[in-house]
Amino acid sequence: MSANQQFNAYLQQKLDEKKTAGNLRVLVFADDKIDFSSNDYFGFAKSGLLHAEQQTLPSGSTGSRSITGNSALAEATEQLIADFHGREAALIFNTGYMANVGLYSCIAGKGDTFISDEYIHASMIDGMRLSYANRLRFRHNDVADLEKKLGHATGNKIVAVESVYSMDGDEAPLQAIAAICKKNNALLMVDEAHATGVYGDKGDGLVAKYGLQNEVFAVVHTFGKALGLHGAVVTGSTVLRNFLLNQARSFIFTTALPPHNYLQIQKAYSLLPRANRQKLYQLVEYFRQKISAVQSIRFINSHSPIQGILVGDSFKTKALAGHLFEQGFFVRPIVAPTVPAGKERIRICLHSFNTEAQIDALITAIAFYNRV
């Protein structure tokens, strides 16, 4: 057996182990199903966000931003975003993962300490791991535990949280966290992936909603959720922007976004103030009201568009997701290691384009499966 064959056999063994544990991932698509899974909260992705000027632009950027990929269009888009969120400057990355990895890997060094909520996104964790800084974790949304952990931190102290958590859909106590950071002379960095577009008077997120722009050092906004696009941005000071374009490897060593993406980003930002947030909030409350009558099912306690059913077993979670898929609903099972073992769940995302009738049908299908 060749080295290639031996290693393929080794990889297959690892995959078989995941399958046996119920944690094997497979790719699916479901264009004919009712969407209760995507992060496209307002249906922007379905609209195409086309712009007439795209026809006259190059199809590619030809290089990284630091070589040939920069443009007046890219910088104008960044300033538009910074102004929208009430920040001084912004720097666009190709994906949300790259933004967090780039930011966290270079912002702290040896002897510094990250203090992060235990439920932060994997991209934030991976960025911290690439740095030489220490990392402490505090219990989810527990401000007392955060302050306790800050007492053990050394060097520059950097607190990392999400404003809305992607799996439980709960909101961080940002105002309390910001106050603790100020008291302890710590920097606060916030990932607004699931709040951008959804919260704030014009969809500018929870940091802006609570007037914390001057209290938060860096904020990440992603384009792949409510904006219905691709990419992400780090907002903060001009000094932070200049530091990242010099130090963030996921920015320096990658080809820039093609020009038409910047036009699409500008278009999405122009639509955000008019997005139907009120209908989305109403559907969330309608969903919460309806599930209150469903017995013996552990729904996640969330008042954001991210809802879910705690199942606690990989195989049962996948079986329920499969049943709902067969009934015409696109929802996804979330299993370990995305969530801790024992907290496997069905993740349900609500959108402004969903209807009360669709929610009724989904909950009926869930309740029926629970009875059989």
CB 199, CB 205: distance < 8 Å: yes
How big is the CA angle at 230 (ends 84 and 70), to the nearest 5 degrees? 75
| Residue 108: HSE in the Cβ half-sphere, 13 Å Cα cutoff | 31
Query: How many Cβ atoms are within 10 Å of 2's Cβ, its own excluded?
Result: 7
In the residue annotation, 162 being an active-site residue is answered as yes
The active-site residue out of 37, 39, 250, 261 is 39
The active-site residue out of 149, 194, 267, 343 is 194
Going by the DSSP 8-state scheme, the letter that residue 39 receives in this structure is S
Q: Could you tell me the two tokens for 21?
A: 């544990």
For strands 157-162 and 218-222, give the pairing. unpaired
Length of the chain: 372
The active-site residue out of 121, 221, 318, 351 is 121
In the residue annotation, 4 being an active-site residue is answered as no
In the residue annotation, 194 being an active-site residue is answered as yes
CA pair distance 181, 298, nearest whole angstrom = 34
In the residue annotation, 370 being an active-site residue is answered as no
The active-site residue out of 157, 225, 260, 343 is 225
In the residue annotation, 39 being an active-site residue is answered as yes
CA pair distance 322, 310, nearest whole angstrom = 16
Site of tokens 């122009």: 270
In the residue annotation, 126 being an active-site residue is answered as no
In the residue annotation, 296 being an active-site residue is answered as no
The active-site residue out of 35, 162, 168, 170 is 162
Q: Could you tell me the two tokens for 226?
A: 């409510």
The active-site residue out of 170, 191, 192, 344 is 191
CA pair distance 180, 361, nearest whole angstrom = 44
Residues with Cβ within 8 Å of 90's Cβ and at least 6 positions away in sequence, in order, are: 78, 79, 81, 82, 233, 234, 235, 236, 241
- Which residues are catalytic, by number? 39, 121, 162, 166, 191, 194, 225
